[in-house]
């Protein structure tokens, strides 16, 4: 322990972890890739996940889309039933073997993986909406699709914001397994630097702080969105923690 | 005089079953324009299902529904058809994420936009939205709730919600209004405001089919009462006859319980 606190060695270790060879850039390069993979993966995941959820929901309510609904359920079962590392290997070494860009492979893999989880979250959200809402929409002459889009989905999304962000947060951290196939993402950086300095302390600490910063930002965004969507609440006046200034942008959503 | 005209709605042998449970067991009825029909009967007698089969929220398992002489088939444009029939639900079913004004204009604007597309009109969308807003505000003013236009449904009382639900249905311009137990979920002191709005509509000549347990409303406002039991229409006549001189035994025992 004394060794840990020795100021001189600490300064030296700090220097080798960040300053030598401009190593600090590696962390931010990794962070950039992590964010890039996460962003694309979330986009793919939300898009596909909601489509799967709507297919399954529509089948459960109307009996239509039987085959598609079966396939959606099968997809969710298979993706949730296998480890993401294996999915990544399958993508990287078999399915997308011709794709040279690791970031793309990562984004696709994590996006397809996330879609299965989002699908279940979204399905729960859709089922949480009272049937009377669909009936009211249809009785007013709105089509099924219009009612879904204008009435059911907005309410469902509002209900599942916390669960969705849970999934986003898990996803950001999960992308750290992309390091297994040589993608330079944030989780891989500490190992990379340790292999040159033989010292894990600062690299691990700093990479963790960066992950934490990303995740914390996400929770702030979540609070803002929740706040913006709570206008129709009975107690809309009650302040959700998160601060007003930060939420200014979210209000326009 | 009415008999010579074509009925607005006619059902022939209308049947609906859920699995083995026969809820509607052959309904033959003609409803003419301007009639205020109240449907009464014990719970489970098929009253609500009857209403829901009329606007196709439920698909009948047998028989036919004719609207203005035309049979509803698979080719019927259901969206277009449902706009002719406003429906008011027991639990209001207002859209909680939309303001009162948006609740009222949503379907009306959608209908206008569809019409514009169909007829290839050039009316700008902005103008349509503005027109429908103005119309909705007039309707809200009529029920004294224009100051609630920007409020969300969760801030309203049950009576206010139901009156807005009625206005929302009217905004689409229906020829007939279907009411499915519109006052059953209301606190007693709010029943009056909803019934008086319905009475106003009736006085203006709106064709109405009302499933209700409000026997006073049935007696005072309706021109015709249908008594349903076991998925069939057991008695059909003017309220004086149904309430004053009931012939059927089941009707007699039902009335003895509710009056």
What was the pLDDT predicted at A2? 58
Q: What share of chain B is helix, strand, coil (3-state, %, to 5)?
A: 45, 25, 35
Tokens of A29: 């390069």
For A141, the closest of B96, B153, B172 (CB atoms) is B172
Interface A–B counts its CB contacts (< 8 A) at 72
Minimal-distance CA residue of chain B relative to A157: B97
Shortest Cα–Cα distance, B240 to chain A (Å): 32
ipTM of the assembly?
Answer: 0.92
**Which of B59, B93, B103 should we substitute to test contact with A (largest number of A Cβ atoms within 10 Å)?**
B93
What was the pLDDT predicted at A234? 63
* DSSP string over A132-169: HHHHHHHHTT--HHHHIIIIIHHHHHHHHHHHHHHHHH
Q: What is the pLDDT along chain A (253 residues), one digit of tens a residue?
A: 556 667 778 899 999 999 999 999 999 999 999 999 999 999 999 999 999 999 999 999 989 999 999 999 999 999 999 999 999 999 999 999 999 899 999 999 999 999 999 999 999 999 999 999 999 999 999 999 999 999 999 999 999 999 999 999 999 999 999 999 999 999 999 999 999 999 999 999 999 999 999 999 999 999 999 998 887 776 554 444 444 444 554 444 4
List, in sequence order, the alpha helices (H) in chain B: 47-54, 78-82, 100-119, 125-142, 158-171, 188-203, 215-221, 239, 249-258
Q: Which stretches in chain B have pLDDT values below 70?
A: 1-4
For the entire predicted model, the pTM comes to 0.87
| Domains present along chain A, CATH in parentheses | 24-186 (1.10.3720.10)
* Inter-chain CB proximity A135 and B55 less than 8 Å: no
The closest alpha carbon to B95, from B153, B151, B143, B180, belongs to B153
B152 in contact with chain A, both atoms CB, cutoff 8 A: yes
pLDDT tens string B129-164: 999 999 999 999 999 999 999 999 999 999 999 999
CB contacts, 8 Å: B175 with chain A: none
What was the pLDDT predicted at A230? 83
What was the pLDDT predicted at A160? 95
* Inter-chain CB proximity B83 and A140 less than 8 Å: yes
List, in sequence order, the alpha helices (H) in chain A: 2-5, 7-14, 24-62, 66-81, 84-90, 102-127, 131-139, 144-147, 153-174, 189-197, 201-229, 248-251
* Inter-chain CB proximity B97 and A138 less than 8 Å: no
CB contacts, 8 Å: B107 with chain A: 137, 140-142
The closest alpha carbon to A117, from A147, A70, A160, A177, belongs to A160
* Inter-chain CB proximity A158 and B110 less than 8 Å: no
* Inter-chain CB proximity A141 and B106 less than 8 Å: no
Residue A103: count other Cβ atoms within 10 Å of its Cβ: 18
**Which of B79, B88, B115, B180 should we substitute to test contact with A (largest number of A Cβ atoms within 10 Å)?**
B79
Residues 1-60 of B with CB under 8 A from A: 55, 57
**Which of B107, B166, B171 should we substitute to test contact with A (largest number of A Cβ atoms within 10 Å)?**
B107
Given a contact cutoff of 8 angstroms between Cβ atoms, the answer to whether B176 and B84 are in contact is yes
Minimal-distance CA residue of chain B relative to A237: B155
């Amino acid at each position: 322990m004394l060794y840990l606190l020795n100021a001189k060695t600490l300064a030296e270790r700090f220097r080798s972890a960040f300053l030598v060879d401009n190593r600090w850039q590696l962390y931010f390069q990794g962070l950039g890739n992590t964010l890039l993979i996460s962003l694309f993966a979330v986009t793919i995941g939300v898009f596909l996940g909601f489509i799967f959820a709507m297919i399954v929901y529509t089948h459960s309510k109307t009996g239509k889309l039987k085959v598609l609904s079966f396939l959606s359920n099968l997809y969710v079962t298979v993706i949730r039933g296998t480890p993401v590392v294996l999915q990544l290997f399958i993508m990287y070494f078999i399915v997308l073997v011709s794709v040279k860009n690791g970031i793309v492979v990562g984004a696709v893999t994590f996006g397809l993986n996330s879609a299965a989880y989002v699908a279940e979250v979204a399905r729960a959200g859709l089922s949480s909406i009272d049937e009377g809402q669909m009936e009211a929409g249809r009785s007013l002459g709105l089509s099924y699709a219009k009612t879904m889009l204008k009435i059911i989905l907005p309410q469902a999304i509002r209900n599942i914001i916390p669960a969705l962000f849970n999934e986003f947060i898990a996803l950001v951290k999960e992308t750290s397994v992309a390091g297994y196939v040589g993608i330079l993402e944030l989780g891989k950086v500490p190992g990379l630097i340790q292999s040159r300095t033989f010292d894990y302390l600062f690299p691990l600490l700093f990479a963790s702080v960066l992950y934490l910063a990303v995740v914390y930002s996400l929770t702030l965004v979540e609070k803002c969105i929740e706040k913006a969507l709570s206008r129709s609440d009975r107690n809309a006046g009650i302040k959700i923690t998160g601060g007003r200034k930060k939420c200014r942008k979210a209000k326009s959503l | 005089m009415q008999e010579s005209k074509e009925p607005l709605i006619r059902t022939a042998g209308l049947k609906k079953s859920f699995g083995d449970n026969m809820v509607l067991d052959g309904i033959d009825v003609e409803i003419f324009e301007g009639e205020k029909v109240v449907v009464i009967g014990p719970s489970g007698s098929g009253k609500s299902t009857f209403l829901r089969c009329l606007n196709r929220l439920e698909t009948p398992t047998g028989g036919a529904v004719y609207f203005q002489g035309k049979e509803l088939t698979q080719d019927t444009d259901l969206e277009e058809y449902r706009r002719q029939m406003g429906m008011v639900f027991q639990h209001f079913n207002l859209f909680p994420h939309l303001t009162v004004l948006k609740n009222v204009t949503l379907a009306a604007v959608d209908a206008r936009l569809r019409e514009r597309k169909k007829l290839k009109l050039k009316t700008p969308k902005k103008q349509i939205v503005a027109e429908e807003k103005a119309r909705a505000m007039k309707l809200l003013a009529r029920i004294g709730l224009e100051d609630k236009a920007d409020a969300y449904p969760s801030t309203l009382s049950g009576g206010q919600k139901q009156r807005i639900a009625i206005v929302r249905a009217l905004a689409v311009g229906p020829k007939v209004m279907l009411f499915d137990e519109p006052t059953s979920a209301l606190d007693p002191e709010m029943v009056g405001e909803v019934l008086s709005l319905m009475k106003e509509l009736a006085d203006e000549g709106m064709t109405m089919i009302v499933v209700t347990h409000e026997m006073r409303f049935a007696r005072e406002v309706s021109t015709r009462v249908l008594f349903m039991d076991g998925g069939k229409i057991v008695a059909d006549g003017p309220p004086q006859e149904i309430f004053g001189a009931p012939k059927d035994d089941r009707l007699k025992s039902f009335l003895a319980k509710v009056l």
